[in-house]
Amino acid sequence: MPTLEIKTVINADIKTCFDLSRDIDFHKKSLEHSNEKAIAGKTSGLIELGEWVTWEATHFGVKQQLTSKITEFDTPNYFVDEMVSGAFKSFKHEHLFSYANNQTIMIDKFHFQSPFGILGRLANSLFLSRYMKNLLITRNGFLKTKAEAITNLEHRNS
């Protein structure tokens, strides 16, 4: 099972980063290029432990739906969303946060398994791992920009 790990250093407080990471509305904005929208379950606001969301998006030219549920939650340090149904055979996305030296360290650990046995493993190595890594990097870049803008605004207003 492939595991992707992305580390993002953000000049913002841990709570802002944690909340943006679980904000359904922010997630939609950060992945507009794939027409991502929440169509069932928790469709707006901050997702919590035990809640689920069904996303609809276009990837590889195909409209797809994926439902994930928040299965672990420790504010503001950690949460996990896991696929309930969708195109993957399985996935588990760990979101880890720590704070030191006025920076939040955000680590995404994305464990996934493709369907279709050897064909799925081939797809992972040819393009899917790279595609998923780029998707996470794009989303995290948006999150970093937004969190740092919020923090800068708060500092100017205080």
The tokens for 26 are: 């922010």
Whether residue 117 is predicted with pLDDT greater than 80 in this model: the reply is no
- What is the C-alpha to C-alpha distance for residues 158 and 15, in angstroms, rounded to an integer? 18
Question: Could you tell me the domains of the chain?
Answer: 3-157 (3.30.530.20)
The DSSP annotation for 59-82 comes to ETTEEEEEEEEEEEEETTTEEEEE
Q: Which percentage of the chain shows pLDDT scores above 90?
A: 69
Lowest-pLDDT range of 3-7, 13-17, 33-37, 148-152: 33-37
Helices (H), the chain: 14-21, 24-30, 117-123, 129-157
State residue 63 phi and psi, 5-degree precision: -75, 130
- What is the C-alpha to C-alpha distance for residues 93 and 35, in angstroms, rounded to an integer? 21
Contacts 24+ apart (CB under 8 A), 95-102: 95/18, 95/21, 95/22, 97/14, 97/17, 97/18, 97/21, 98/14, 99/13, 99/14, 102/11
35-50 per-position pLDDT tens digit: 899 999 999 999 999 9
Yes or no: say if 41 and 52 are a contact pair by the CB < 8 Å rule. yes
